[in-house]
Amino acid sequence: MALNLAYFAWVRDRMGVADEVVELPADIADLTALLTWLAGRDERGALAFAEPQRIRAAIDGVMMGPGAPLADAREVALFPPVTGG
């Protein structure tokens, strides 16, 4: 499955790109598996996703939790927690 990934803030800085299209392996079915896969792809992913519990995600524009399914998703946006002030 082809999936658009968008990275924001320090996730983007650590990944070295703002977005990319990836071809997911068939066994990547939810956000948790996606973050694990991204962390294992290369050094940049390992740095960006070393603490997956800190990552927030939106699937097709809707905020989702760690076990959210990726079925039929077109885009996943990944970013650190947002704080205000």
Q: pLDDT digit string (tens) for 15-67?
A: 999 999 999 999 999 999 999 999 999 999 999 999 999 999 999 999 999 89
Residue pair 46/39 in contact by the 8 Å Cβ criterion: yes
CA distance 26 to 50: 23
* CATH class held by domain 2-79: alpha beta
| pLDDT reported for residue 85 | 57
Q: CA-CA-CA-CA torsion for 54, 60, 66, 67, nearest 10 degrees?
A: -170
